[in-house]
Structure 1
């Protein structure tokens, strides 16, 4: 198609009138903020922007209204969650899409992507465009159910309903997302080649629904990124029919286990994106057709898959953020001569393994390589000399976050194509090579956080394309080169935290594109150049902690884009320029610790975006401007140690966001403003609440927590108070009187005594949060609490409460947390408890005297995430319905009760469980094998969603016995994974399946009647920090693989029947306490005094890359072998060793063989560190 139509005589066809009118009606339902559709005037719609017509008929065949400025994540971050360009360019729908578009009967191309349709449903009539071949509604903010009518588009080749940037969800969090309940309607799309549903939750789709998609023999591209596929059982099995695919994207789904074997059959696949999952095995990868392979952000470990060496067509290989560690990685990749991008960052590569590069032949790996990223490993030694051989192609080189040392080699200057060079965060020393100035294509140079010394080469001023120059945190000295003034494209210049001296070059004022200038913490002197007033794009200016003098240039007031200005700790004098009042985007202004004088400018009252104003420790005089009370976003105000006088402005009472106010050491007078909001938490106040608080009659929010305040809480606190936080002080006396307006009350961690008023529910009916923990309150829990119908958080823990639990507490419909830990409560929990509490997520009843059977009413609490009823007198069996009804449980602690019976395998249905503690009961039977399937214990996931309830100042807490001691977890509770079955009567063997729990932090099976051997693969539990198998009947040898537990710092295997040598190596070397192995009389080797005969201590060797170890048992040499070897030595000494003594050539060959074995073992490296995801802005 072209834009205009012509007839056979050459006369131009206008678009039909009905189609023109249809487009105008459609336009009327849109808000066009930037006049993108301004061309939609006149009779001929074929001339309109975004509209294309058929060559011969003039009918509209294409409507392309895609936003030309898609959502940009960088802008989103740097603009504090707002991408202005994208937002303003959006076409915004007002109401439903006008059905007049149906007049476009010949439409074959429709693109509405990246606009804002405000959550309205995709029109069902879109299914009537029977000639449509391309439909793109991605990231257009449609909502609701995807209409099955789209299945009528039988000619459709491409369908894109996805969200191409997942952060768009948080950007418009009030708009409902698209919902897909089935994919059966796609079975009619017989011509479909491209299907994109990324960002749509597909977890509720029936498994057979995916089979409908698999029937498309024509399908070439399938994009299911960020679709919550991890919640679909057996999803892997649906992939077996997608054999014609060329592109498959399953990223961001947290799929676990090995890569699906069905992918092996996709022999035409060119792009495979599996990043941001939990895959741990890549053995099925044998796809020689691949051009792009992305396995980043998974749990792969050990050597890079050997199959990759055969993928000779690869152009992009991304393996970052895994645990790969093989030392011969470059040999594995040397055949990938078409490779353009190689990213091995944030793995476990260590040492000097990259000093040697495969022989450069033709073709070779380096021929086309443009991007090489090795950052975030543990590489040491000098920078590799082979880098200069990549000179013809390499554009991006990132070796940051390693431990490279020595000088920066001058050979790097041979990389003439280089655009990005990042060597930051290493241990490089010496000077910056002058020859770096020859890298004429360089756009980014980051040498920050090293140990570089000497001056900054003037030659860097020749890098005319340079946009970012970072030399922060080195030992550079001398002056800033004047030549930097010629870097006309520079946007970021960071020379902070060095030893630079002299003046700031005036020439820097010529850098018209500069956005960030950081010269903080140097020894710079002289005045701030007036020329800085021409840096109109500057957003951040850090000149603090130098020796600058003179006045602040008035010209800085011209920097309208400035957001952060730091001039603190210099010797600046004179008055603060009035022109600063024009810096409307300013968020932080720090002029503290100078010698500034005069008055605070009245014009500061127009800095409406200001959040922090620091003018302390100067010589300012006069009054505090009343206009500062207009700064509604102000959070921190420091005016201390000046010569300010007069009254504190009453307008300060309107600063509702003010958190920190320091007016100390001035000459101020007058009354304290009548604040609505006052936060003086953690301010080291040691006093009672002063009487002048009685005057704060408008106060709605007061936070005095975290101080050392004492005395009684006064009754004169504002009648309008809504939120009152007085925790972590020394307030005493009985429960105070409060006004009924109160909604949030926190008196925890004080010395409040007496009983809770029986009529508290009538006095404070609007309470949503009531925290009284860790006081000395006694008496019973009043039943009037049940009148608080809005109550969400109730914490009475660590007091002296007694009596029974009011049954009605479980019927509070909005309650989310009930914490009654550590009291003297008794009685049973009624069956009707939790009959209506659909929001209850945390129930803490531990350390009381409750009795009876497990509370059956809890089966109604289907939202429970945390259940802690430990240290009580509950009895009977643990009910099976827990695994069926409480499917949201993440923490279940039933320890120190009187439960009996066995553990039901139905508990294994608790897919989200991360802590299971049933220690100290009378449980018996075998440990269920399916315990090895707890999803949240399978992998060391640091990306758990925050499940802890946090309302006001409340945080869930849990005590756990790990490493032989009791710890209380609060903020880090979401990272704890623990399985404690200790001190019961469990029998049988330790299930081998438990070794699958590679994300488990603590495993305690002690004090049971377990027998058999320690599982051979226990070394797979790479995240274990605490392992206790003591006081059982375990026998056999200690597996060699236990040495792979490099994070373990508590180990107890005592009082079993273990035998043989004790493994050594890695973390076991530091666990030298003999008591770890007490009561195992047949063990030998360090740290025990009993030596093995012959003396031998096995060392763990990771043989994953060589397949399963085929030796019997655990691979230890048995005692019979030892006896046979001793007798054999007596007989064979003169037959073998005698020959070695008298035959030189044999002796030389033998010891050379022994050396090769020792060296070979040392080359085997075991990766056992936790996976750490490091994102840099």
Structure 2
């Protein structure tokens, strides 16, 4: 019976399970019978939701073309549950990664996120990355998709505030909202931001979190809120402007964390991140650009499991700290862009797993140590831009034994000697840079014999010679070759024609004097070309449409003829300056939407400036100076863009605005020495990032518009010299708080000089020599400006950021020189000559100690030269001639070196050295003085003499009575004093008696001789 009852019990359980399964299947069947399911396993309501979303997604290549039949579970990017049929996966990631977008120029157009997404309530996976949501905020309704486990919104051009409703996604394992942000129509950049991360604590199962490029500057409790995620494995907070943590944490819960990226948080040093040194599970730590110094980095030695460590671009000084030896498992170590000094320590030889070592851009000295021979896994070594000396022969021999080295960067050091031929046996080598050292000897084909994998080669700026025959065929087919200053001329090296994979080529300063060979243009894979500063002659092909250049630099050669038609879709840098190009600018540049640097100066280009140049949205530097351009600049851009947006509501709005845009990113505009005329174009007011504006030596006319001071607040250089501008100088120019150079000379400006010119903020202080004139252009472009200082035209380049100058000469300005100009303590050059200024020279002008040049000549200034002018210790050029100045010329300090009398000529009532009628540096009166001036001079002299006599008499009386008083009260001193007088008296009598006796004997001898 017991057995039977047990069997019956098991049978009843089995029957119950079968009934439950049947009931579940029946429910599924009934769910399909109500019309919500169609053929296959797709649910109709979710299918309709997907089609609604498709309508709002940018899809030029029809990558959603499969979204048309009934079974939505078979659509591209859609995944369904095999049992329920619900959509659980939606992958709408834009199909081209960022690299591909820039290579193919296939950027996503605007998309919208349709609210029908809410009908997909069973979603577990959602990817919307790499799309373009046009600066829209992240929809709050995403927080209703409570089954989500994977959410990727990265690089999707969202902006605004991250909705805290994302905290409802309690099942999330993966969350990536990184690298968002958007440029709006008025050139405002807005990024994602969050004021508090408290919603993160509601997602305890989070394994991966990426908030890079999200503005966290107001999230004061970020550390505590992230510390509440015990399951976190990967954390990326790069470039988030992390604030100083409000308080330190006592216990670190991030015990599972293996990857931590805090790079580009420049104020992290102030937060004292000792907490991260307790996360022993860390294998990947990125602290690039965090402002960290030595005092916090010693503790990193406790992270024994690290395999990747990046400490580049910080403030690490001194010798490499000894705790490096604790990273026994490290495989990649990056410490470049610091101030590390001393020799490479032997302890690095203990890092036996090291594969990549980056120490470039430091102050490391000494020779390359032999310890690298112990690193049997080292594949990548970068020591560029240090102070390393010696030779590389022993190092190369050691590496040949291992033969695993793939990349060697030693450029910009002081390494010398000959390069051993055994270098050619490094068959694994892919990248080699030996540029800017002191290598000597000859490089032959043996040096490249087995470098079959070489992909990057830089041998520029050394002292060796390349002994390679014209028929030499390299064993490699490199993508990047740089051989500047390698004496390759006078012909093009013919071996280049074998480099069919070549993408980048630089052959600057090689004395190449013939023209481009015809085969050269068959190398159509080249995107970077720089053959500047040679003597290349001849013409360029009329069309280079087959090439896809992003950089094209043939400047400083002897090329003539028209500018060729180019495929400008990819063009970023175009430099044709200092040649003899003629004709007009080709129409192909109208499509150069990515062109940032267009340098065409010092050629023979004629015609007018085409309107499309002012439409290029990416243009940052435009230099058309020293050509034959003529006509007026276009004035089509007078209506504010905001009004145009309000007035146009059709689907063609974007195209309409694009046809009327201005170069909003423009920072430098040079049109000097052309034949341009008319008024300043009003579209310039929308170039709010403009730093340098040089329209000098043209025929522009009209009044100077007031919007320059209101709109161009970033302007540092304004040069309108040698034009026909007239009217008053608007006082609104004083709003240009960054202005350093103001050159309005040789125009027809009239009226008074505004006193507010003493408020130029940048001129009130000495500028920082490390601050470039333009931002982030050092690698591509160095700003230059021709200026007339000290009577000589000079081009300023590297020191332009230090120049402070005002030149208003040769105008019709009148009234007094504003005394407020003495506030400009950083000013170095001031030229107000050839105007009609009256009154006196400002009294406190000597307070301007930085001034190097002062020219006030040919005006109607009167009165005396202020005595303080002698305090200007940097003054090397002075001209006060042809005024009505009077009185004495001040004397002393720097004025003693200004000996040319012409700098004071034309002032008949002025006297003193170095005027020609004065001599011996004496301050004598001029014979041409008027009676009033003589009286003034005489009164001054008498007053000075009276004071001199008074002080001398007072000193004599005080000294005499003090001496008498001492004699009266000190008997010993009295005795000694009178004894000294007696001794002196006796000595004098004795000496006189001896002299008289000697003289008497001499006279007697002479008399006896005469009688004899």
TM over 0.5: same fold?
A: yes
Q: What is the rounded CA distance, in whole Å, between the counterparts of 2:377 and 2:185 in structure 1? A: 39
Where does residue 434 of structure 1 map in the other structure? 421
Deviation at 1:592, TM superposition (A): 6.2
- Are 1:122 and 2:138 matched, yes or no? yes
Unaligned stretches of 5+ residues in structure 2: 1-27, 30-37, 638-661, 685-689, 710-714, 761-803, 828-841, 848-871, 875-1012
Alignment of 1:659-674 (within 5 A): 659-661=669-671, 672=677
Where does residue 351 of structure 2 map in the other structure? 365
- Are 1:47 and 2:74 matched, yes or no? yes
Deviation at 1:205, TM superposition (A): 4.2
Deviation at 1:443, TM superposition (A): 2.6
1:432–1:171 CA distance, 2 compared to 1 (3 A): farther
Alignment of 1:117-516 (within 5 A): 117-160=133-176, 162-163=177-178, 165=179, 174=188, 176-205=190-219, 207=221, 211=224, 214-234=227-247, 236-237=248-249, 240-253=252-265, 254-257=267-270, 259-263=272-276, 265-277=278-290, 297-301=291-295, 305=298, 308=301, 311-322=303-314, 324=316, 329=321, 332-334=323-325, 336-354=327-345, 356=346, 364-366=350-352, 368-390=353-375, 392-409=376-393, 410-411=396-397, 412-458=399-445, 459-460=447-448, 462-478=450-466, 482=470, 486=474, 489-516=477-504
**Match for residue 111 of structure 2 among 93, 116, 123:** 93
Q: What is the rounded CA distance, in whole Å, between the counterparts of 2:423 and 2:243 in structure 1? A: 48
**Match for residue 637 of structure 1 among 624, 634, 654:** 624
Contact 2:78 2:89 in 1 (8 A): yes
Deviation at 1:398, TM superposition (A): 0.3
**3-state SS in 2 of match to 1:256:** helix
Q: What is the rounded CA distance, in whole Å, between the counterparts of 2:220 and 2:441 in structure 1? A: 66
Q: What is the rounded CA distance, in whole Å, between the counterparts of 2:149 and 2:692 in structure 1? A: 62
1:407–1:616 CA distance, 2 compared to 1 (3 A): same
Deviation at 1:695, TM superposition (A): 7.5
1:585–1:102 CA distance, 2 compared to 1 (3 A): closer
Q: What is the rounded CA distance, in whole Å, between the counterparts of 2:293 and 2:600 in structure 1? A: 46
Per the normalisation by structure 2, the TM-score is 0.58
Larger Rg: 2
Deviation at 1:114, TM superposition (A): 2.8
Q: What is the rounded CA distance, in whole Å, between the counterparts of 1:629 and 1:222 in structure 2? A: 49
Q: What is the rounded CA distance, in whole Å, between the counterparts of 2:542 and 2:317 in structure 1? A: 55
Q: What is the rounded CA distance, in whole Å, between the counterparts of 1:747 and 1:583 in structure 2? A: 46
1:488–1:92 CA distance, 2 compared to 1 (3 A): farther
Q: What is the rounded CA distance, in whole Å, between the counterparts of 1:651 and 1:118 in structure 2? A: 33
Where does residue 742 of structure 2 map in the other structure? 727
Deviation at 1:152, TM superposition (A): 2.7
Where does residue 624 of structure 1 map in the other structure? 606
**3-state SS in 2 of match to 1:635:** strand
Contact 1:446 1:469 in 2 (8 A): yes
1:238–1:463 CA distance, 2 compared to 1 (3 A): same
**3-state SS in 2 of match to 1:195:** strand
Deviation at 1:474, TM superposition (A): 1.5
Contact 1:13 1:57 in 2 (8 A): no
**Match for residue 54 of structure 2 among 19, 24, 27:** 27
**Deviation sequence 1:1054-1096 (CA, Å, 0-9, x none):** xxxxxxxxxxxxxxxxxxxxxxxxxxxxxxxxxxxxxxxxxxx
**Match for residue 751 of structure 2 among 728, 731, 736:** 736
Over aligned residues, Cα RMSD in angstroms? Answer: 5.4
Q: What is the rounded CA distance, in whole Å, between the counterparts of 1:333 and 1:748 in structure 2? A: 53
Q: What is the rounded CA distance, in whole Å, between the counterparts of 2:542 and 2:131 in structure 1? A: 41
Q: What is the rounded CA distance, in whole Å, between the counterparts of 2:547 and 2:718 in structure 1? A: 40
**3-state SS in 2 of match to 1:30:** coil
Contact 1:416 1:440 in 2 (8 A): yes
**Deviation sequence 1:1082-1130 (CA, Å, 0-9, x none):** xxxxxxxxxxxxxxxxxxxxxxxxxxxxxxxxxxxxxxxxxxxxxxxxx
**Match for residue 127 of structure 2 among 100, 107, 111:** 111
**Deviation sequence 1:62-84 (CA, Å, 0-9, x none):** 11223354445xx9xxxxxxx64
**3-state SS in 1 of match to 2:742:** coil
Q: What is the rounded CA distance, in whole Å, between the counterparts of 2:825 and 2:510 in structure 1? A: 55
**3-state SS in 2 of match to 1:576:** strand
Deviation at 1:402, TM superposition (A): 1.4
Where does residue 529 of structure 1 map in the other structure? 517
1:170–1:450 CA distance, 2 compared to 1 (3 A): farther
Alignment of 1:972-983 (within 5 A): none
Q: What is the rounded CA distance, in whole Å, between the counterparts of 1:800 and 1:250 in structure 2? A: 48
Contact 1:405 1:427 in 2 (8 A): yes
1:482–1:239 CA distance, 2 compared to 1 (3 A): farther
Contact 1:220 1:246 in 2 (8 A): yes
Alignment of 1:573-612 (within 5 A): 576=561, 579-580=564-565, 600-601=582-583, 604-608=586-590, 609=592, 612=598
1:799–1:313 CA distance, 2 compared to 1 (3 A): closer
**3-state SS in 2 of match to 1:413:** helix
**Deviation sequence 1:520-561 (CA, Å, 0-9, x none):** 212334432111111223234333333445x33527734542
Deviation at 1:428, TM superposition (A): 1.7
Contact 2:384 2:410 in 1 (8 A): yes
Alignment of 1:743-892 (within 5 A): 798-799=820-821
Q: What is the rounded CA distance, in whole Å, between the counterparts of 1:42 and 1:494 in structure 2? A: 55
Q: What is the rounded CA distance, in whole Å, between the counterparts of 2:695 and 2:45 in structure 1? A: 75
Q: What is the rounded CA distance, in whole Å, between the counterparts of 1:305 and 1:704 in structure 2? A: 43
**Deviation sequence 1:445-466 (CA, Å, 0-9, x none):** 1111111233443243753433
Q: What is the rounded CA distance, in whole Å, between the counterparts of 1:576 and 1:353 in structure 2? A: 54
Deviation at 1:423, TM superposition (A): 0.5
Where does residue 538 of structure 1 map in the other structure? 526
1:237–1:779 CA distance, 2 compared to 1 (3 A): farther
**3-state SS in 1 of match to 2:489:** strand
Contact 1:626 1:649 in 2 (8 A): yes
Per the normalisation by structure 1, the TM-score is 0.50
**3-state SS in 1 of match to 2:464:** strand
Contact 2:455 2:478 in 1 (8 A): yes
**Deviation sequence 1:1021-1078 (CA, Å, 0-9, x none):** xxxxxxxxxxxxxxxxxxxxxxxxxxxxxxxxxxxxxxxxxxxxxxxxxxxxxxxxxx
Q: What is the rounded CA distance, in whole Å, between the counterparts of 2:806 and 2:609 in structure 1? A: 42
Q: What is the rounded CA distance, in whole Å, between the counterparts of 1:541 and 1:711 in structure 2? A: 37
Deviation at 1:25, TM superposition (A): 0.9
Where does residue 676 of structure 1 map in the other structure? 681
Deviation at 1:86, TM superposition (A): 9.1
